[in-house]
Structure 1
Amino acid sequence: MTDARLHVRVLLDTGPTLQESREIEAIFGDLGMRADVEGHSYGGPPPTSAFLIVVNTDLLSFMDTFLAQGASGRRSFERWAGRLLALRSDSRMWGKQHTLKLEDAQCGLSIALTQSLPPAAYDTILNIDVSGFDRGSPSTGIDWNPLLNRWQAHLHSTPRPIARRVALRSEVDTDTPRVRNIGDEDLRAMWRLSEDPNVHAVTWQRAKMVLWSTSGWRPSAIAEKMLVAERCVRTVIHNFNADALSSLAPVYSGRHRPPLNGDEEREIRRIAARHPADFGVSLRLWDIDALSDFLVSQGVVDDISHAQLVDLVQEMRHSVALDDHPGMSTP
């Protein structure tokens, strides 16, 4: 059985000691997460070090863990940050306070937390929306501005300091899906599917969409990469979150069905009514599996389930289409 807990890397600019490693693992274990702790150099040894404790993970899933706790989430987040910051709070040993940095594992986004953060910062931090960032986003840092009393986003790639107001969850589309955290075994299975030249076109495409989502791409960006409609990507991700690897199979009927428009239905009917050889397919008659593979691989539709095709073919059998052109076998 795979470990599907949220995976977190914790990087300390010096160390860590064995005691620190165990304490950090326990801190994240209390949240139901799995932590790997390691040392990292941020600018060299003290006193030139950046004095950072970096938490590197899927930032949206991480923050959602606290939001799922409801009214107690804000206080839980503050306690979690305080426990990590307290690890290296002794100025006699470290010279200055460490900064805790939340860093998204898939894009150039980070959120800085210090021991001087006021309660107002913790009151609002979980309201920050990070779903709009993906691997194509510019490198951005979010920190608390005490003068404006709000969180701000700073672009790292500009020649002069530029700050922007951060988007809040209440201001954005909260239905934008992201693939849930999945285990290594499932990830390996999807990579195998995505690299198999003989895999069914429906399975290959769905696996690629899910993999890109796990890599931090938004549905709109995945749609551009796959040359499909964004609604198709959203459907695939919703189904995967519900039913995991089984949702990648062409026979999967789905919690959500890929939508078909009128033009697509008419073209499917036209193709199904003719022999596969007319389209360069070495079959005597279409079957549902071969037809769905052809339709997706040739871009007739973005995605389709076997159940949708069965419904269409059965409708056609009540018309003259298949009688005149018997290219379809019985579903």
Structure 2
Amino acid sequence: MAERVRVREIGDDEGRRLLRIVRRGAGSVVTWRQAQMVLLSTEGLPVAKVAEVTFTSGDRVRDAVHSCNADGFESLHPKYGGGRPKMFTLPERREIKKIAKSRPVEHGLPGQHDPPLHQLAKQAHRRRAPAQRRRPGQRRMIR
């Protein structure tokens, strides 16, 4: 049988810090839940009981304990990715906005007050500014 998963020896300062995170619940929910799992594990509860108390799986509890043993308190804080990359650079955005805010007659379009977005996109493409295909994105950029 495999050895029980336990958190490394935690000092008084670290214990107080864990208690503060769990009691106050300030900040991220992810941090709070992982701190709760680590705190329960330091009290000697088995993985199955910690999983039951925190409404999660035993695998998640084991991962939290192992990462806390390896990285310390840095493992409690979530590491989010950077998100989706930007579709346009700042100069491209300025060019598209300039086209959108100008008069349609200046671009050879019929004299309309508010030209359709597909015509603005076509005009931006002619000027070598990349045109975004999704209309909500075009409207957001014009603002």
| TM-score, structure 2 as length reference | 0.56
For the residues of structure 1 that align with 2:25 and 2:68, how far apart are their CA atoms?
Answer: 22
For the residues of structure 2 that align with 1:324 and 1:230, how far apart are their CA atoms?
Answer: 45
Q: What are the residue-to-residue correspondences of 1:140-155 with 2, within 5 Å?
A: none
| The one of 174, 198, 201 aligned to 2:26 | 198
* Identical-residue share of aligned pairs (%): 32
Does 1:242 find its partner at 2:66? Answer: no
| The one of 153, 178, 196 aligned to 2:6 | 178
Larger Rg: 2
Runs of 5+ consecutive residues of structure 2 not aligned to the other structure: 88-133, 138-143
Aligned to 1:208: 36
Q: What are the residue-to-residue correspondences of 1:50-61 with 2, within 5 Å?
A: none
Per-residue deviation, 1:173: 1.8
Letter in 2 for 1:186: E
Aligned length: 90
Per-residue deviation, 1:233: 0.5
Runs of 5+ consecutive residues of structure 1 not aligned to the other structure: 1-171, 252-305, 318-322, 327-331
CA RMSD across the alignment: 2.3
Aligned to 2:57: 229
Q: Deviations over 1:238-259 (max 9, x none)?
A: 00001111111123xxxxxxxx
Structure with greater contact order relative to length (CA < 8 Å, sep ≥ 6): 2
Letter in 2 for 1:209: M
For the residues of structure 2 that align with 1:324 and 1:218, how far apart are their CA atoms?
Answer: 54
Per-residue deviation, 1:197: 3.4
Q: Deviations over 1:60-79 (max 9, x none)?
A: xxxxxxxxxxxxxxxxxxxx
Per-residue deviation, 1:208: 0.4
Which has more helix, going by share of residues?
Answer: 2
Q: Deviations over 1:272-294 (max 9, x none)?
A: xxxxxxxxxxxxxxxxxxxxxxx
Per-residue deviation, 1:223: 0.6
| The one of 21, 30, 45 aligned to 1:217 | 45
For the residues of structure 1 that align with 2:10 and 2:26, how far apart are their CA atoms?
Answer: 25
For the residues of structure 2 that align with 1:179 and 1:324, how far apart are their CA atoms?
Answer: 52
Q: What are the residue-to-residue correspondences of 1:117-128 with 2, within 5 Å?
A: none
For the residues of structure 2 that align with 1:177 and 1:237, how far apart are their CA atoms?
Answer: 7
For the residues of structure 2 that align with 1:325 and 1:209, how far apart are their CA atoms?
Answer: 42
Q: Deviations over 1:204-232 (max 9, x none)?
A: 00100000000011111111111111111
| TM-score, structure 1 as length reference | 0.25
Per-residue deviation, 1:324: 7.8
